[in-house]
Amino acid sequence: MLLDYDRMGGLRVALLGFTALVAGFLLLPVVFIVLLSFGSSRWLAFPPPGWTLKWYQELFADPAWLDAALTSARIATMTAILAVAIGLLASFALVRGRFAGREILRGLLLTPMVLPIVVFAIAIYAFFLRLGLGGTTIGFVIAHTVLALPFAIIPIATALEGFDKSIEDAAIVCGASPLEARLRITLPSIRIGIFSAAIFSFLASWDEVVVAIFMASPSLQTLPVKIWGSLRSDLSPVIAAASSLLVGLTLALMLVTALLQRKFRT
């Protein structure tokens, strides 16, 4: 290969430094937000004059914040369930199916990953207004499921591709109906893919803000929407606390996935 890491010599140090710089540049704002959420300054001064948990107390005392967090969790959970269910069926069709238009279907299902999000948001907003789904939980879940589908399909399809179909055939010769063989043998065998799909789709909804802004109503707001809204009215450290929680849950879920994947590989 042209760019072989082992043969780059001095360039290696430069590459390492550059990577660290980019990673730092991307991560630093997050680190600042978390630090500020524990800082005692009302004006988000840095470095903070002292440390406190009062912004978190304020956050948990405000039912609007709690409500937004619960809404986010509820929508993300429903999105994850729906995306995994559809993702499973789609993966079987994409991996096992031999039909005309399979590649087109694959492209279509993965489009939300590359489509400019704001275009999708406007389109679905206009469409849902007509259907009366704007500002409803169900509308939220449908929109987020479309966005989450690629993140559900990719790990499930990958796991299914790595699963030897002969094993399913063996279960069928053993007397299991094709459905039973898939439920009792194939699904447990690709469970790590299904689990990753669930977490990734949950997260795709959990931290999604653009579509959520279009879908939200005053009575139905997810956490990112609430953060966005509060940001425009007043710049309080409570927002930093809410953001930290958002980041915290995301990190925790990613960590769990990584650990599980490592455990399954050995």
* Interacting residue ranges for other proteins, rule: CB under 8 A: 164, 166-167, 169-178, 180-181, 184-185, 188-189, 191
Phi, psi (degrees; rounded to nearest 5) at 179: -65, -45
Residue 170: CB minimum distance to other proteins, A = 4
- Give CA–CA dist 173/155, Å, rounded: 28
CB of 187 to other proteins, least distance (A): 10
Burial environment of residue 152 by CB neighbours within 10 A (0 to 12, 13 to 18, 19 or more): buried
Residue number with CB closer to other proteins (42 or 102): 102
For other proteins, the closer of residues 97 and 178 by Cβ is 178
The secondary structure of 177-198, three-state, reads CHHHHHHHHHHHHCHHHHHHHH
Least CB distance from residue 72 to other proteins, whole Å? 33
CB-CB contact of 238 with 21 (8 Å): no
18 vs 264 by CB, closer to other proteins: 264
With a CB cutoff of 8 Å and minimum separation 6, the contacts of 253 are 199, 202, 203
- In whole angstroms, the minimum distance from the beta carbon of 93 to other proteins comes to 20
How near is the Cβ of 185 to other proteins at its closest, in Å?
A: 5
Report d(CA 243, CA 246) in Å as an integer: 5
Nearest distance, CB of residue 197 and other proteins, angstroms: 18
Tell me whether residue 104 or residue 173 sits nearer to other proteins (CB atom): 173
| Torsion angle (degrees, nearest 10) of CA 163, 166, 171, 175 | 150
The closest alpha carbon to 106, from 88, 90, 82, 84, belongs to 90
186 vs 244 by CB, closer to other proteins: 186
Task: Name the 3-class secondary structure at 220.
Answer: strand
The residues facing 39 across adjacent strands are: 51
DSSP 8: -
* Closer by beta carbon to other proteins, 159 or else 216: 159
